Chains A and B, each alone.
Chain A
Amino acid sequence: MQTHFDLFHLPAAFDLDVDRLEAAYKEVQGQVHPDRFAHAGDAEQRQAAQWATRANEAYQTLKSPFNRACYLLELRGVHALDARNTAMPPVFLMQQMEARETLAEVAAGADLDALERLERDAKTQAAALMQEIAGLFQTHGNDAALVEALRKYRFLDKFLADIGAAYDTIG
């Protein structure tokens, strides 16, 4: 089966040249986008839509380091985000619970400065984690370590989304 990497003629690796990905994506969309077939029949547009959809999915997956990492593991038959696997290191979970409590307090107190501090910290943590993931791919680290790092990353990602929502409620 053609992988997302194959579609864009890119090596299947975590380390990826984003500019090359974007150029290849644009090249493919230029060929298959339904707008190129707007004056053609319905059925032809459907086919074009399928290809454009596929190109979009492949691009979105490869563009995001997190999605790219999960996808690479999936190609090896490892489903990092399997809902049945919920085990996490207790220390990490404790940290997360504390951070969430802090967020609730900050949001309730409408403390914008504290919210910004919280966001900065979470972003630093997320960046460090992504570095770790990149390192694990480079050194061919074991899949279990990658899965744990990705699951931690997802926690942080959701936390950052909640911080964004808190900005909205604070106004």
Chain B
Amino acid sequence: MALLQIAEPGLSTAPHQHRLAVGIDLGTTNSLVATVRNGVSVVLNDARGHGLLPSVVRYHADGACTVGYPAQARAAEDPHNTLISVKRFMGRGLKDIPDLATMPWQFVDAPGMVQIKTVAGVKSPVEVSAEILKSLKARAEASLGGDLTGAVITVPAYFDDAQRQATKDAARLAGLNVLRLLNEPTAAAIAYGLDNASEGIYAVYDLGGGTFDISILKLTRGVFEVLATNGDSALGGDDFDRRVYCWILDQAKLHTLSDHDKSLLMARAREAKERLSDAPEADITAVLTTGEVIDLTLPEATFNEITASLVTKTLLPTRKALRDAGLAAGDVKGVVMVGGSTRIPRIQAAVGEFFGQTPLTNLDPDKVVALGAAIQANVLAGNKTGDDWLLLDVTPLSLGLETMGGLTEKVIPRNTTLPTARAQEFTTFKDGQTAMSIHVVQGERELVSDCRSLARFELRGIPPMVAGAARIRVTFQVDADGLLSVSARELGTGVEAAIAIKPSYGLTDDEITRMLRESYDHAEDDMTARNLAEARVDGQRLVEATEAALAENGASLLDPEERAAIELRIVTLKAALAGSELTAVKRATDALNHATGDFAARRMDASVKRALTGHRLDELEI
């Protein structure tokens, strides 16, 4: 419980201070960072002018690593230590990963999430992602000239709890304060300014390097809701390159090629594809190691012909997503194009035909997700005033419990608006039973074995009773980021036994601390100093917020004794802040937080009442 800073709608609590906030698109192939500057969302470039950061991390024997273009350039030389597309492994176990055999890395099975053996030690996908995020954070801080208040990080709409948790942990490891995890299609929609003024159904067609995702969004009164998502995790721009590559081999009657020639021709194929985005034909020339000269011209018509089946393949999941949403192509008001591959004219035409309208392509499809994330980060950091909207995201998948017979009991159905909480009561089935095992799962299927297991825990210390007499309430809570926590409590006798868990792939707070230590290469007292500094900031903020709240409604909402109790704890906290003892600061902060819980609730209550009684309801804007 804590004191709330309640601001009038549209007013930030500290209006004069511009907070540095960024949006990060942590992509499978490339990552980007963007920010709102002078009211316009822009992608931040590195020192060489690159906006994209290849999501590639190469580890060296001395424990250091390189990120981005330099790592990508050496991938062929050092494939085992150059980690590419780790996003696919976030929150995933060994058994979840198809085509392991074709990958050059040495995987290590670990509870919940795979790890990869490198010359610098065993690395988890969280650590690898954190390196990418650190690089983007450093770029942003250099470019903006200050520490970041926070970041919005995008995730695919279909990411489950473990994948979201892993993304958030990576950010924590990179030293980023996550303002919100945002669904990628929602971010793209925001970038196009599809907010309050644009009610209706929107489709977000995202064709990246290796994956295809389609999302159907509904926008009503500033509420963004993901109605349905679908896709193909093995379909992307790379497949178009491969078709062109095969066409080259066929035309030039080539059979066996050296590795060097293979990668040379793949690169030429990609270049040809890219040129065809704004030219009617593309020349392909190369000199092979054999001395043979390749000189071909690929007309757009031929390119369209050899890639036609790939284009059709994206329309199948699109149809399915529409049907899941209970909609027809004609119901869609706008189509947002995301991902570099949507530059292909034939794709734009096919999508246009399918939806009966020209898709939105005026923003760079590689950058649109990051641009949208930056706009939301700016709002969340409290910089934007006035017409800010509210994003009410939904649970992407149903959350439930295992019941007798391996069946799933859904507690929170998919598409429930966040944040949300649901409680369900269970009882014991044996006389004298003192413990109950609780298995939390995510997914739409009826059998537990078909769903993703999120966590198992035991509620112990149930007083012995006859079967069916105990009342165990299991509560699911999902926060605004879509992250779940579960608690269980025995209510029957008033004896309370509760356990709260944060289901994840088994990365505990201690492990995060260990990784932080390792990654910063800091001595123990540096960590303590950092913790103390953070605790002081929290404590100071609480003192200021409490004093402001007391000045505003202390007289009307508190009786003198309640007020005195709060003031006493302010004095204690101020004394602790003057010292340098971490535990004292934390204890005093907790005590003040605790003491102001009721006050905060009353203030919130008063604020809600004011919101509804300030004007008559029939005058409200609808």
Contact = CB atoms under 8 A, between A and B. Distances in A.
B3 interface: yes
B608 A51 contact: yes
Contact count band on B:
35 or more
Given A38-B381, A56-B420, A47 B149 contact: no
A9 B612 CA distance: 7
A57 B418 CA distance: 10
A59 B479 CA distance: 17
B13 interface: yes
A49 B611 contact: no
A44 B621 contact: no
A39 B604 contact: no
Interface stretch (B4-12, B83-91, B281-289): B4-12
- Dominant secondary structure at the A interface: helix
B618 A27 contact: no
B380 A38 contact: yes
Interface in A27-78: 27-44, 46-49, 51-53, 56-57, 59-60
A44 B4 contact: yes
A27 B390 contact: no
Contact of A34 (B7, B381, B479): B479
B2 A46 contact: yes
A29 B222 CA distance: 11
Contacts of B13: 39-40
A43 B1 contact: yes
A19 B421 CA distance: 25
B2 A47 contact: yes
A37 B622 contact: no
A7 interface: yes
Nearest to B603: A47
B19 interface: yes
B207 interface: no
Interface of B: 1-7, 9, 12-13, 19, 149-150, 179-180, 221-223, 323, 379-382, 390-392, 416-421, 477, 479-480, 538, 541-542, 545, 593, 597, 600-601, 604, 607-608, 611-613, 617-618, 620-622
30 contacts: A8-B612, A9-B613, A10-B617, A23-B622, A27-B611, A27-B620, A28-B612, A29-B390, A30-B611, A31-B604, A31-B607, A31-B611, A33-B392, A34-B479, A35-B180, A35-B391, A35-B480, A39-B149, A39-B382, A40-B13, A40-B541, A42-B538, A44-B3, A44-B600, A46-B2, A47-B597, A47-B600, A49-B419, A51-B608, A60-B417
Interface of A: 7-10, 19-20, 22-24, 26-44, 46-49, 51-53, 56-57, 59-60, 167
